[in-house]
Amino acid sequence: MERIAVYPGSFDPVTNGHLDVIQRAACIFDKLIVAVLENPDKTPMFTQDERVSMLKKVTGGISNVEVEHFSGLLIHYMNTKNAKVIIKGLRAVSDFEYEFQMAMLNHKLNPEIETLFMMTNNKYSYLSSSAVKQIAVYGGCIKELVPDSILTQVLRKAGRNGGAR
């Protein structure tokens, strides 16, 4: 049976930290679906289509990764994909409480679903999409924070006219 995992998130935008988790999880499962979902607690900077297209661009070289978007509950999406494992990246202890609650709730909603946590690579432990957006908007350098192939798009969206910084 094909082992399918889903890596859900807002990906607003995808960062090098996300990409690191995607690359590592893709080595463990037969298929990894990166699912762009809405987080009701956040107002995204990028549209759903933009987030999907950036993810497709940066994962294009990984043959067993698919990217999709879904509006609704993660566990409903998992059912449509016949996937039983949720992948989550943990950067620091501060992520744990929220992620623990999500994992418990999703497991309660569907006891067949397991959440697998992967520790983020140490060099990305400080990195978040929110930080990338703030740095981009206020004129800082995001070159080593997001994949090169989406750098210009992120800077443009932040009103930086695509300057390669």
For binding to ligand PNS (CB under 6 A), which residues are involved? 8-10, 37, 39, 42, 73-74, 102, 105-106
Residue 157 among the catalytic residues: no
Catalytic: 129? yes
Active-site position among 18, 88, 133, 157: 18
- Out of 10, 51, 88, 91, which one is annotated catalytic? 91
Classified as helix, coil or strand, 150 is helix
Identify whether the C-beta of residue 9 lies closer than 8 Å to the C-beta of residue 18. Answer: yes
Pick the catalytic residue from 42, 76, 108, 143.
42
Look-up: residue for tokens 């978040």?
Answer: 128
Which residue lies nearer to ligand PNS by CB, 53 or 160?
A: 53
**13 touches 132 (CB < 8 A):** yes
Identity of the residue, 10 or 120, whose beta carbon is nearer to ligand PNS in the bound complex: 10
Structure tokens of 58? 């940066």
Helix (H, G, I), strand (E, B) or coil at 4: strand
Catalytic residues: 18, 42, 91, 129
